[in-house]
Amino acid sequence: MSTDDTLTVAVRVKPGSARARVGGRFDGPHGPALVVAVNAPAVDGRATEAARRALAGALGVRPAAVSLRSGAASRDKLFLIERPGPEVSAALRRLRDGSGE
């Protein structure tokens, strides 16, 4: 879901992973979600913050442009990306589905 000013990204967070990585698809409650594995534990919002920063890095945007919309206490989250360019949508498709240019 997106508007001209924001893009909503569904994410499935895997906290406490041995290796941090962004990529893959999970069919969750918000539809096709991008998988974000983080080293941080699911304690005191640490995994959510690590996922927010990892998502920003993978999409090539500033961390301040990524905010949590819903799912603070869930592995299934929705993040908002402010003012995404077309390259962000392409990167998201590539990371989530293995497609895109």
Whether the CB-CB separation of 43 and 73 falls below 8 Å is answered with: no
Q: How many domains does the chain have?
A: 1
Residues 56-101: tens digit of each pLDDT: 999 999 999 999 999 999 999 999 999 998 999 999 999 998 864 4
Residues 23-35: tens digit of each pLDDT: 999 999 999 999 9
Q: Residue 101 falls within a domain, yes or no? A: no
Give which of 59, 62, 61, 65 is closest to 91, Cα–Cα. Answer: 59
Q: Residue 49 falls within a domain, yes or no? A: yes
Range of the domain at 59: 6-96
Cβ atoms within 10 Å of 81's Cβ, excluding its own: 22
How confident is the model at residue 97, as a pLDDT?
A: 87
Question: Residue 28: which CATH number?
Answer: 3.30.1200.10
How confident is the model at residue 98, as a pLDDT?
A: 80
pTM: 0.91
